Amino acid sequence: IKLLMKAIKKALERSKLERAIRSFILSCVRVLLWVLVALILADKLSIPSASLVAAVSVAGLALSLSLQDTLKNVFSGFTLLATRPFSSGDYVDIGATGGTVTAIGLFYTTLTTPDGKEVSIPNSEVCASRVTDYTREPERRVELGFDMGYDCEPEAVRRALIAAAEADSRVIRIEGAEPTVVLSAYKASSVCYLLRFWTLNGDYWGAYYAVNESAREYLAREGLSMAYDRLEVKVLK
């Protein structure tokens, strides 16, 4: 068993598998080898191996039923480590929880939220949830919405918003990724415009808040004002 475990360990170390997967495989192999040794010893001691196998099978079935949820998390963790939908250090949304992945274990996936909370999610829930990885790609698109009055000229709005985006050094200005403004919707008392631009993943939130704040100043330079919900009442004599 010792020699076999050394050979298997060396083979796994040369592979690109995660450490948790290697540890899981080694544990399973070690258990199987000891079960094999027990069966060989039982045969040499003239103990009926068939009844021993049956007893072990019944005990294994009872144990698997009692540890059903735990085993589900283990195999889900093995699936996550093998398929790698995300890696440690990625910022992801798993269901309704968002945070930076700090650990991917056989039972739980651990996230650290932006406000400093550590959240451990069972791997079975991770496999069953929709996962959004925000850091896998080097660039990310920012989208900001602005509600403008119906009396605002669309071209003036586009000119002001694009100027606000281009004034920020974090905004990417390459062909095909220039800042753009589209008219999104006609609302009851306003017209919605969307400002879209690309930035590096690490600069996303800094550019998001900076452009969102400076856009008001650029709109004011063009003599434009944002719309807000209001009710006009006309009194008839």
Higher per-residue confidence, 20 vs 109: 109
In the chain, % helix, strand, coil (3-state, to 5) comes to 50, 25, 30
What is the pLDDT, as a whole number, of residue 154? Answer: 93
Among residues 136, 138, 199, which one has the least CA distance to residue 166?
199
Residue type, 101: V
Higher per-residue confidence, 20 vs 47: 47
> Residue 66: pLDDT above 70?
no
Average pLDDT for 183-189: 90
* CB of 99 closer than 8 Å to CB of 89: no
Tokens coding 38: 């027990």
CA distance 112 to 106: 18
- Confidence band for 164, pLDDT divided at 50, 70 and 90: very high
39-48, 81-90, 109-118 — which one is most confidently predicted on average?
Answer: 109-118
- Confidence band for 182, pLDDT divided at 50, 70 and 90: very high
> Residue 199: pLDDT above 60?
yes
What is the pLDDT, as a whole number, of residue 37? Answer: 86
- Confidence band for 65, pLDDT divided at 50, 70 and 90: low
In the chain, DSSP finds a helix count (H) and a strand count (E) of: 7, 8
Pairing assessment for the beta strands 108-112 and 191-200 based on DSSP bridges: unpaired
Pairing assessment for the beta strands 180-186 and 118-122 based on DSSP bridges: unpaired
| Phi and psi angles of residue 234, each rounded to the nearest 5 degrees, phi first | -105, 125
